[in-house]
Amino acid sequence: MLSRFHILYVLVLLLLQLFNTGVLAQTLTQTSQQKQQLIARYGLLETKDSTCNKTLRKLKIKNTCSILNSNLFNAYAFTEGSIMITKGLLQKTHNVHQLAHILAHEQAHLVLKHHHQLSGFMSKPPLFFPKRKRKKLRYQQELEADQWANQRLKTYQFMPQQIHHLWKRLLQQGQPPQTDHPSLKQRIDTSLLREEEMIDNGWITKNNKL
């Protein structure tokens, strides 16, 4: 009886493992497809030695960033470990601190394994209020990523407060809110960062390459 139980237990474990690997593989395929679709639709800009990659190196983030030739404002962290931002986002960031925050935020999603957490949730959704709970999880992940980014920026002598200027500008311009993200106002209120006096009037760096 004991050994039968043992076999059953091993079998259940194996099944669980298979199931988890399956979910992960599915997530990887989905994000890879999503990435390829975006590239096929907008195309990539030449990013060798870009400000984006230089900023990642200054943040000691071992990752590369590619730039999508799109005027939309978006940043992506793909499960296989790459970061992609849009040209539109780069044009709206006014200094390297703001860009650093966005990149660190995307890296945080990868480091904190937010995709896996989310796919785990989706594979076994709770019986009660699944939509509301999913939304809560996404909010929590976004705020966690902001906190991780704040810390990373401070460690490598960037000014995390600068991201508030960008968020406020987007808020004034009526940037459409993403439904599964906390509102920009919520993000500002939660970060509770002291506002920097530095003026947000464009890139300080000359010869700024995309």
CB nearer Zn ion, residue 56 or residue 142: 142
CB nearer Zn ion, residue 96 or residue 108: 108
Count of chain residues binding Zn ion (CB under 5 A): 2
Q: How far apart are CB 48 and Zn ion at their closest, in Å?
A: 26
Q: How far apart are CB 209 and Zn ion at their closest, in Å?
A: 25
CB nearer Zn ion, residue 178 or residue 205: 178
DSSP 96-112: HHHHHHHHHHHHHHHHT
d(CA 78, CA 191): 25
Q: 97, 159 in Cβ contact below 8 A?
A: yes
CB nearer Zn ion, residue 6 or residue 136: 136
24 Cβ partners below 8 Å, 6+ apart?
A: 116, 119
Helix 96-111, helix 162-172: angle, nearest 10:
100
Matching residue, tokens 């509770």 = 192
CB nearer Zn ion, residue 97 or residue 115: 115
Tell me the backbone φ, ψ of residue 89, rounded to 5 degrees: -70, -45
Exposure pattern of 68-89 as b/e (b: 16+ CB <10 Å)? bebeebebbbbbeebbbbbbeb
Site for Zn ion in 111-150 (CB under 5 A): 142, 145
Q: How far apart are CB 106 and Zn ion at their closest, in Å?
A: 7
- Binding string, residues 31-60; x marks residues near Zn ion by CB under 5 A: ------------------------------
Q: Helix, strand or coil for residue 203?
A: coil
Q: How far apart are CB 127 and Zn ion at their closest, in Å?
A: 28
Q: How far apart are CB 167 and Zn ion at their closest, in Å?
A: 13
- Where do contacts with Zn ion occur on this chain (CB under 5 A)? 142, 145
